[in-house]
Structure 1
């Protein structure tokens, strides 16, 4: 009979997430996780097979937290700008989790057209917000999303790595200016 688990899967995953939030993903070790739980590392492996499985569970919790930010952005008007603002807010408030989700090296290098659906589980909802916010469809919506993601991702990376500090008003103004320029270019058929 296997030993009774001292901690639940949720407790271990949550402790792993907290380590990543505070110290970064490279600090997530069995020893550090055990210390965080007030135990040795052994009880971890009555619930998880290995540290990769623990890491993936913590990463899913990070994705779930990020999805909360995106859902808040989707309630703004226009929704797509709200999503961008929340993406940057996530980078500011949870820099280590942002780095884990959006600044990690990819196993297979996706081409630019495929990167957003690969790295963001919220891709479809965000694309719909582009279509509904600006009355554009298909390739124009994708192109607008791609261009603004590059810009928004750049601001978010600057914030997550403490390279720059921006106020919410500055971020909103910059995004509005770029968005207006892109809408003007895309509406005259330069696709």
Structure 2
């Protein structure tokens, strides 16, 4: 008789992540996770004190997935930062449940927007922006934060409404935000 496969903590996190991705994070519970794994609820409750701990772990995994998604640049767009913005919007369109889980839940409680934008989430993007825009690190942060807020607004609208995704409009809007911010920083010394 073959040995019974052991359910690991990582398997539980992966299952919860898949549930969030497929049908929404509000459906993560001991029963749905155990069904996904083909086991009883006992391993889920053994590895995690509460189902909220499972959700938090799945949220961290979703955050890593999002960062990898938006920073996996293909060169499709003329500027790397435009591609990052477009990938964030595409993430909202293609991975609506994960987008809502990440950005429309309360898992960033107590974190300031500034800290979140400058934290490890986007560290890899600042050197790209510094080179692309020929600016210093602080200016790169200022440009990024302005563009991200515009980008995120578009992404949120698309993720939460039955709106049509218009790539050309998004490109134009993000380009205007980028060049407008560059003008404020370089020509006017603002931000």
Scaled by the length of structure 2, the TM-score of the pair is 0.83
Whether 2:186 is the aligned partner of 1:187: answer yes
Whether the 8 Å contact between 1:74 and 1:83 is mirrored in structure 2 is: no
Distance 2:110 2:15 in 1: 29
State the shift of 1:149 in Å. Answer: 0.8
State the shift of 1:163 in Å. Answer: 4.9
1:60–1:113 distance in 2 versus 1, CA, 3 Å: closer
Uncovered stretches (5+) of structure 1, i.e. residues with no partner: none
| Corresponding residue pairs, total | 185
Q: Which residue of 2 aligns with 1:80?
A: 81
Q: Which residue of 1 aligns with 2:38?
A: 38
Whether 2:71 is the aligned partner of 1:71: answer yes
How large is the RMSD of aligned CA atoms in angstroms?
2.3
Whether the 8 Å contact between 2:146 and 2:177 is mirrored in structure 1 is: no
State the shift of 1:113 in Å. Answer: 3.0
Uncovered stretches (5+) of structure 2, i.e. residues with no partner: none
State the shift of 1:177 in Å. Answer: 2.0
State the shift of 1:176 in Å. Answer: 1.3
- Could you say what secondary structure the match of 2:105 adopts? coil
After TM superposition, the structure 1 = structure 2 runs for residues 145-160 of structure 1, keeping only pairs within 5 Å, are: 145-160=144-159
After TM superposition, the structure 1 = structure 2 runs for residues 33-182 of structure 1, keeping only pairs within 5 Å, are: 33-73=33-73, 77-105=78-106, 106-108=108-110, 110=112, 112-118=113-119, 121-182=120-181
1:175–1:117 distance in 2 versus 1, CA, 3 Å: same
Distance 2:115 2:175 in 1: 25
Q: Give per-residue Cα distances to partners, 1:57-115, cap 9 Å, x unaligned.
A: 322321232122122138564211111111111111111211222233332152x4323
Distance 1:173 1:146 in 2: 18
